[in-house]
Amino acid sequence: MTSLTDPTDAAGAGSAPPLEAPAPADVAGLVNLRDVGGMTTADGRRTRPGVLYRSEMPKVGDRPPPESMTWPPRTVIDLRSAVERGPDPHPLAALGAEIRVFPLLGDEAAPGRHTATSGAMEGGLQALYVAMVEHAAPQLAAIVDVVGEAPGPVLVHCAAGKDRTGVTIAVLLRLAGVVEENVLADYAATEQNMRGVVRRLKGHALLPGVSDPKRGRELVKTSLAAAEAVIATTDAHPGGVAGWVRAHGAGEESIRRWRDRLLA
């Protein structure tokens, strides 16, 4: 398995940026938004730009991204829980985006087994990611069906665009054959954006206890070991990641269409 240097894994949680560190003054727009185009597959192809975006949660009043990105995205995959979403419509719905909701944490992700993912949140990122892959596998497979059919571009987001989004994007990229090194590099790119993300998440429903330095460090760091565990788990299926998503409900035609859409 490809491995990149992970400062937080090597030096411990204390090396992550402190939650109180200065954030960019201008956070009126998405700060963790990016297009995953331009990544290389094992057979030498590349992912197309303008097909799959990832970000933290959009907010009412956000300025639009650069003109190089089609905005609003035609389809939005919202990975947040009902508590996080609250009663108000999704900010991008008013702009014409179709919103599809697939909670990846809590009892909405694994009915009757909510303690599996909520408990894993206390065990660090690797435990959390493995729990998501195990207990939210049907949701991840259903997302494959959506991205294979839904109008694009498709935006995938959770709250910070780091953990749930990171797991989902890793599955989608690996399903298309993107090499592990590119998947890990894209995941790790989020950490440099986390100060701005935390500023934007002030008052968010799932941020109790961030005054605790340990919890704060966990909030802003990434873990390549955790991302590698996601890839190892899905790749280990006898049919690879395609076999893994099929086993949890994704259709063969959806997988084919997703690969055709994403790859140039």
Is there a domain that residue 21 lies in?
Answer: no
As a whole number, the mean pLDDT across the chain is 85
Q: What is the CATH number of the domain that holds 90?
A: 3.90.190.10
Whether the predicted pLDDT of 113 surpasses 70: no
For 117-161, what is each residue's pLDDT tens digit? 444 455 689 999 999 999 999 999 999 999 999 988 999 999 999
Range of the domain at 72: 32-106+114-202+212-260
Q: What is the pTM of this model?
A: 0.85
Is there a domain that residue 2 lies in?
Answer: no
Is there a domain that residue 25 lies in?
Answer: no
Q: Which whole-number Å values give the CA distances from 209 to 53, 198, 213, 219, 245, in the listed order?
A: 30, 13, 9, 11, 35
For the chain, the domain total comes to 1
State residue 92's pLDDT score: 98
Whether the predicted pLDDT of 12 surpasses 50: no
* Sequence-distant (≥ 6) Cβ neighbours of residue 67 within 8 angstroms: none
Is there a domain that residue 45 lies in?
Answer: yes
Whether the predicted pLDDT of 13 surpasses 70: no
Rounded to whole angstroms, the Cα distance separating 244 from 234 reads 6
104: left (phi over 0), alpha (psi -120 to 50) or beta: alpha
Is there a domain that residue 50 lies in?
Answer: yes
Query: Residue 47: helix, strand or coil by DSSP?
Result: strand
Rounded to whole angstroms, the Cα distance separating 100 from 156 reads 10
For 17-76, what is each residue's pLDDT tens digit? 443 344 344 458 999 999 999 999 999 999 999 999 999 999 999 999 988 899 999 999
Is there a domain that residue 22 lies in?
Answer: no
Would you place residue 4 in the very low, low, confident or very high pLDDT band (cuts 50, 70, 90)?
very low
Q: Bigger pLDDT: 14 or 107?
A: 107
Is there a domain that residue 9 lies in?
Answer: no
For 225-249, what is each residue's pLDDT tens digit? 999 999 999 999 999 999 999 999 9
Is there a domain that residue 23 lies in?
Answer: no
